[in-house]
C-alpha cells in the first residue's frame, strides 16, 4: 500500500520536479497546507494572510523508497535552516515544514532532523505539524517544471535543484 508525505521547502515547483525523478514515487501534487484559510488560492497564499505553505504531497511505494529516504532527499534539496525563506523566495508560505500523516512519521522526521543537524551550520527550523487538510494548487502549477523548462524561474532555480538531485542521489533512487 502506498504512503503519502506532505512537505514544504520553498516553491513547490522545485520540490515537485525533484520528487518526480525518484523511483518509487507514484505521484506528486503541488498544493497548500498548514494554514487556516479554507480553499486558498495561489494569490491568497502569496499574500501571506492564509498561514498556508506551498507544499507537495508525494505518494510513494514504501517497497521502493522509504519515508526516511524521502526525508533525506527533502533535507538535501532545500535549506531547512532559513526561517520562512528559500533563496529569494521570502515569506511564511515558503517555510520548511513537514505535515505528518501519523505518529510514526513524526518520529522519523525527528530522527531525520537530528541526523541532519550535524550537517548544517545553523539550527534546523523545519516545522513538524500534523496534516489537517491539503488543498490542491491550481492546475497550471501541476507538473510546472516539465511544462515550462525555459521559464526564467525554472531555468534559474528549479533546474539547478533537479541537477543537484541527479548528481547526489544514487541511481538506485532515480527513475532514469
Active-site residues, by number, are 11
C-alpha cell at 159: 533546474
- Which backbone phi and psi does 85 adopt, to 5 degrees? -165, 145
* Contact yes or no for 165/77 (Cβ under 8 A): yes
* Contact yes or no for 30/6 (Cβ under 8 A): no
Helix (H, G, I), strand (E, B) or coil at 133: coil
Quickly count: other Cβ atoms within 10 Å of residue 140's Cβ.
Answer: 11
Amino acid at each position: 500500500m502506498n504512503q503519502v508525505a506532505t512537505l514544504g521547502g520553498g516553491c513547490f515547483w522545485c520540490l515537485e520536479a525533484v520528487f518526480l525523478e525518484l523511483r518509487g514515487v507514484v505521484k506528486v501534487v503541488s498544493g497548500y497546507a498548514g494554514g487556516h484559510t479554507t480553499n486558498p488560492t495561489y494569490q491568497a497564499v502569496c499574500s501571506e494572510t492564509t498561514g498556508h505553505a506551498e507544499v507537495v504531497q508525494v505518494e510513494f511505494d514504501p517497497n521502493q523508497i522509504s519515508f526516511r529516504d524521502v526525508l533525506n532527499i527533502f533535507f538535501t534539496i532545500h535549506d531547512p535552516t532559513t526561517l520562512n525563506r528559500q533563496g529569494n523566495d521570502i515569506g511564511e508560505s515558503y517555510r520548511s515544514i513537514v505535515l505528518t500523516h501519523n505518529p510514526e512519521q513524526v518520529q522519523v522526521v525527528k530522527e531525520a532532523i537530528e541526523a541532519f543537524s550535524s550537517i548544517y551550520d545553523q539550527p534546523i527550523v523545519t516545522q513538524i505539524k500534523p496534516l489537517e487538510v491539503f488543498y490542491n494548487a491550481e492546475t497550471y502549477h501541476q507538473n510546472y517544471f516539465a511544462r515550462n523548462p525555459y521559464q526564467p524561474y525554472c531555468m534559474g532555480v528549479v533546474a539547478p535543484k533537479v541537477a543537484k538531485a541527479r548528481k547526489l542521489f544514487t541511481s538506485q533512487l532515480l527513475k532514469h
